């Protein structure tokens, strides 16, 4: 079902249904001592917990504009956002204004 949704979304955006590139990133998630199970330690962030890995499409600026446009009603006081260098560019700045 997710594959069909991804393909339909990409077609709607006038893109090929299957991506030819992606970005891989990870995120450390803090867990409590009582959680048990599979856990580790992220020495770079000094966080005990689990690390999850994400694979995303490379359309960062377009996706970021769509994601952030939906935040305004949810977080009306948001005035400052730090983002990875992959989101740099005038298109994103202009779209967010």
Number of Cβ atoms within 10 Å of the Cβ of 36: 8
The pLDDT-based confidence of 93 (bands split at 50, 70, 90) is confident
pLDDT, residue 58, reads 64
Can you point out the beta strands (E) in the chain? 22-30, 40-42, 47-57
What is the average pLDDT across 8-33?
A: 80
Number of alpha helices (DSSP H) and beta strands (DSSP E) in the chain:
3, 3
> 41-64, pLDDT tens digit by residue?
677 777 777 777 777 666 666 777
């Amino acid at each position: 079902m997710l594959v069909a949704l991804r393909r339909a979304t990409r077609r709607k955006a006038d893109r090929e249904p299957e991506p030819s590139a992606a970005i891989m990133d990870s995120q450390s998630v803090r867990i409590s001592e009582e959680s048990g199970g599979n856990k580790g330690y992220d020495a770079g962030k000094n966080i005990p917990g689990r690390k999850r890995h994400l694979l995303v499409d490379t359309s960062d600026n377009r996706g970021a504009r769509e994601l952030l446009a939906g935040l305004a009603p949810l977080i009306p006081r948001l005035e400052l956002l730090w983002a990875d260098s992959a989101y740099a560019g005038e298109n994103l700045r202009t779209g967010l204004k």
